[in-house]
Chains A and B, each alone.
Chain A
Amino acid sequence: ETGVTQSPTHLIKTRGQQVTLRCSSQSGHNTVSWYQQALGQGPQFIFQYYREEENGRGNFPPRFSGLQFPNYSSELNVNALELDDSALYLCASSLTGTGLNEAFFGQGTRLTVV
């Protein structure tokens, strides 16, 4: 098991609502990335935070936003939920923002939008 923990593990929301997902990074890791994994697909990069600053963003609309806190934990916020947002959301932490180090993933949050 990695030291990356995510909460909650499962969540059901109604279309149009807002959701906040949380992630605690592995001890010593200052970089957190968020990925969306739709059913039957590979994870897709949402964004990355390095030392509390956004350090890259994938092809996701602005209603996907995030934060990183001084202890390097992170939140993913999604506004105006759509049915297609139903997916497994994965948080990954790594040692630096350089890309050299492997990312360690949490167990994910399964979001269902109805």
Chain B
Amino acid sequence: AQSVAQPEDQVNVAEGNPLTVKCTYSVSGNPYLFWYVQYPNRGLQFLLKYITGDNLVKGSYGFEAEFNKSQTSFHLKKPSALVSDSALYFCAVREKTGANNLFFGTGTRLTVIP
């Protein structure tokens, strides 16, 4: 069975500081990993994905994420946070074999303080 844990419901960071949003996963095989962002009253916007290859993945809006197989983690990072980054962030996993659906974590609300 697949599962995703986002251990922090809320992350606060000062504008200009680096940010990290944590995600750990559990799958029976090799994973596809995704990060999505959700703004109020909106659908989810794709940020980045890990399929294979380089463990450091770069995505939209300056975000990046590092796949760590031994720690089963896929933390989202950004070197310098913007107030406009304030939103709800979801980590999702999909097994490479089996069902094609995304399994989402419960989300982390990021607040960037001016």
- When chains A and B are docked, how far (Å) is the Cα of A98 from the Cα of B95? 10
| Contact-size category for B | 20 to 34
- When chains A and B are docked, how far (Å) is the Cα of A44 from the Cα of B104? 7
Tell whether, in the assembled complex, residue B104 and residue A107 are in contact, meaning their CB atoms are under 8 Å apart.
Answer: no
Least Cβ–Cβ distance between A18 and chain B, in angstroms? 24
Tell whether, in the assembled complex, residue A90 and residue B44 are in contact, meaning their CB atoms are under 8 Å apart.
Answer: yes
Tell whether, in the assembled complex, residue A2 and residue B43 are in contact, meaning their CB atoms are under 8 Å apart.
Answer: yes
Tell whether, in the assembled complex, residue B43 and residue A90 are in contact, meaning their CB atoms are under 8 Å apart.
Answer: yes
Residues of A within 8 A of B92 (CB): 42
- When chains A and B are docked, how far (Å) is the Cα of A98 from the Cα of B32? 11
Name A's B-contacting residues (CB within 8 A).
2, 4, 6, 31, 33, 35, 40-45, 48, 50, 55-56, 58, 90, 92, 97-100, 102-108, 110
